[in-house]
């Protein structure tokens, strides 16, 4: 999802995210965040690079889960004990040509 949509939807469930470990995967690796302020700063930094976001996995007491949207995440938080959430920041190429060029020159 785009950074704008991601931020808007996270604001709707920010109370549910308090106290959880939020992990952000970037092209440089991953880092856990233990408060919303630091996580928000990281999101803004990734947004400035033109990156989009997605939910990778959710750690619960019963194991790992996967959801496709923030709304599904909010429902899961209400029904299960969530301990951590992993998000990913990635550059989403707007054209096929841009995606192909990202592989570099062909020999």
pLDDT digits (tens, 9 = 90+) for 64-84: 999 999 999 999 999 999 999
- pLDDT band for position 96 (cuts 50, 70, 90): confident
Query: What average pLDDT does this structure show over 7-15?
Result: 94
- The proportion of the chain whose per-residue pLDDT surpasses 90, expressed as a percent, equals 79
23 backbone φψ class: left, alpha, beta (φ>0; ψ -120 to 50): beta
Q: What is the mean pLDDT of residues 2-31?
A: 94
| Cα separation, 104 vs 107, whole angstroms | 10
Tally of CA atoms within 13 A in the half-sphere of 104 that contains its CB: 1
* Confidence class for position 105, pLDDT limits 50, 70, 90: low
> How big, in percent rounded to 5, are the helix, strand and coil portions of the chain?
40, 30, 30
């Amino acid at each position: 999802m785009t950074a704008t949509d991601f931020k808007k939807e996270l604001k709707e469930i920010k109370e549910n995210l308090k106290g959880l470990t939020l992990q952000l995967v970037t092209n440089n690796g991953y880092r856990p965040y233990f408060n919303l302020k630091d996580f928000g700063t990281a999101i803004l930094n990734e947004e400035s690079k033109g990156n989009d976001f997605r939910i990778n996995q959710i750690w619960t007491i019963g194991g790992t889960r996967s959801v496709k949207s923030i709304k599904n995440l909010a429902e899961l938080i209400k029904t299960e004990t969530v301990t951590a959430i992993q998000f990913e920041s990635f550059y989403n190429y707007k054209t096929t040509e841009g995606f192909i060029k990202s592989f570099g020159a062909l020999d």
